[in-house]
Amino acid sequence: MADVTLNGTPTTPRARSAWQRLKVNRNWLGLWFMLPAMAFLVLFLAYPLGLGVWISFTDARIGRGGAFVGLENYEWLWDDSVFWLSVFNTLLYTTVASAIKFAVGLYLALLLNENLPFKAILRAVVLIPFIVPTVLSAIAFWWLFDSQFSILSWSLRKLGLISTNIDFLGDVWNARWSVIFANIWRGVPFVAVTLLAGLQTVSPSLYEAATIDGANRWQIFRYITYPLLTPIIAVVMTFSVLFTFTDFQLIWVLTRGGPVNATQLMATLSYQRAILGGHLGEGAAISTAMIPFLLAAILISWFGLQRRKWQHGENND
């Protein structure tokens, strides 16, 4: 009986143990649990990104697939003054708007974190620019910046400060500052409210301890608030830079990239060439050219702002 039992076993003890080991292997099981998320990421993020990069190496036009042309699209862009102008505009737009959005957003967050009367209402009011659909706010700015009917020009004229209307969107630099201003107006609430959420996680006991130690308000901000806020700042500024760098709607409604491409961003130029002009390959090349800039912004935010040195001073690793 004992022999039958032993000889009738179809698998060797060693093989059975390997399969059974695999069945309870946490890494093996983990792989299967990760698969749905991986499939989602590959399908909706990696594949479109990869396809976009691939199209940039083809001469694809709308309605038909393209043949592989190597770096031809990039070679044309390299010599294209409009493309380089769009790179300059995008960098200027992103740098100036993000820096001011951060400064104003942080200031507003600190202000709203104080015990103000009507605090809840004030916090809700700050969010309004963010809630209004971008296209609507762009249209409002369109009227504000109108070369003939601008309320700003009208007011200044009535006050006797100017004699002719300000050419907000017709002059190259005026147009750039105008669209940057509109972007700041729209983007500040996101920064302010997120930083406010971060501020509220800072324990009041730290402030009390610092006050007892005789720290002034600047020292409290510099050595308590700012270091504890840095991880939130890293996240907020990463998103803020990404949103600003890839902005499209505001520019498209206000100027369509004009005058003379002075407000043409890489995103709007990509759309103009790929969808309106039909050159999908070239549009994809412009979009792909945005990736290094975006990666750099992300890397600076994550690896830079989260370093302990940055948070706690040079000697604190």
- Helical (H) or strand (E) element with 125: helix 119-126
Shortest Å distance, C-beta 165 to other proteins: 7
Our CA angle for 258, 263, 265, nearest 5°, is: 120
The interface mask with other proteins, positions 153-182, x = CB under 8 A, is -----------xx-xxxxxx--x-------
Q: Does 315 bind other proteins (CB under 8 A)?
A: no
* Torsional sign, CA 185, 189, 190, 195: positive
CB 68 within 8 A of CB 58: yes
Q: Does 48 bind other proteins (CB under 8 A)?
A: no
Give the total of residues touching other proteins (CB under 8 A): 39
Considering only the stretches 61-69, 108-116, 198-206, 303-311, report the one whose residues sit in contact with other proteins under the rule CB under 8 A.
61-69
Q: Which of 62, 151, 295, 299 binds other proteins (CB under 8 A)?
A: 62
Secondary structure class of 265 (helix, strand, coil): coil
Q: Does 248 bind other proteins (CB under 8 A)?
A: no
CB 57 within 8 A of CB 71: yes
For 187, the token pair is 């983007």
* Torsional sign, CA 71, 284, 266, 127: negative
Q: Does 14 bind other proteins (CB under 8 A)?
A: no
Which CB, 98 or 287, lies closer to other proteins? 287
Q: Does 276 bind other proteins (CB under 8 A)?
A: yes
Rounded to whole angstroms, the Cα distance separating 274 from 297 reads 25
Judged by the rule CB under 8 A, the positions of this chain that interact with other proteins are 61-64, 76, 79-82, 145-149, 164-165, 167-172, 175, 255-261, 272-273, 275-280, 282
